[in-house]
Each structure stands twice: as C-alpha cells, then as structure tokens.
C-alpha cells in the first residue's frame, strides 16, 4: 500500500531534522572539547610563565646578594 504524500513529506522532514540535530551535536561536541583543550593550554602556559619569572627573580636576588657580598669584601672602607 503506497504512503500518502503527507506521510512521505513527514518522513523526509523527520530524517532531515534528525540528520541536522546529529550533525549539530557532533559539531558542538568538537567545539566544546577544542575550547577546553585551548583553555587548559593557556592555563599551562600561564603557570610556565609564572614559574619562569619566579626563577628569574630568584636568580636576580641571588646575584644581588652575591654582588653585595663581593662589594663589601673588596670595599676600601671595610
């Protein structure tokens, strides 16, 4: 028994809608995961930059301390 035109249009529209929602879900899932990955990468770089700057400040403090010791040791006033 052949289906009516209205039923065939309804089936076709349902298939198109189902396909659209499936593709939208896949796309949104990929965008979400990419966003999370990018955020984690940015956080990691922030931590790395903070550690590098802390290490550089520590080196400078050590250089300043050693420099003061050397200057005081060789000072003509001491």
Q: Give per-residue pLDDT as tens, 56-68.
A: 776 666 656 656 5
pLDDT of residue 57: 76
35 contacts 41 by C-beta, under 8 angstroms? no
Distance between CA atoms of residues 78 and 71, nearest Å: 10
Q: Give per-residue pLDDT as tens, 4-22.
A: 999 999 999 999 999 999 9
Residue with tokens 């590098």: 52
pTM over 0.85: no
Alpha helices in 1-78 (DSSP H): 5-74
pLDDT of residue 71: 58
């Amino acid at each position: 028994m052949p289906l009516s035109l209205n039923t065939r249009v309804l089936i076709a529209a349902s298939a198109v809608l189902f396909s659209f929602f499936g593709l939208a879900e896949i796309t949104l899932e990929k965008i979400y995961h990419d966003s999370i990955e990018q955020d984690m990468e940015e956080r990691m770089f922030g931590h790395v930059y903070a550690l590098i700057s802390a290490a550089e400040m520590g080196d400078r403090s050590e250089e300043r301390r050693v420099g003061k010791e050397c200057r005081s040791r060789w000072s003509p006033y001491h």
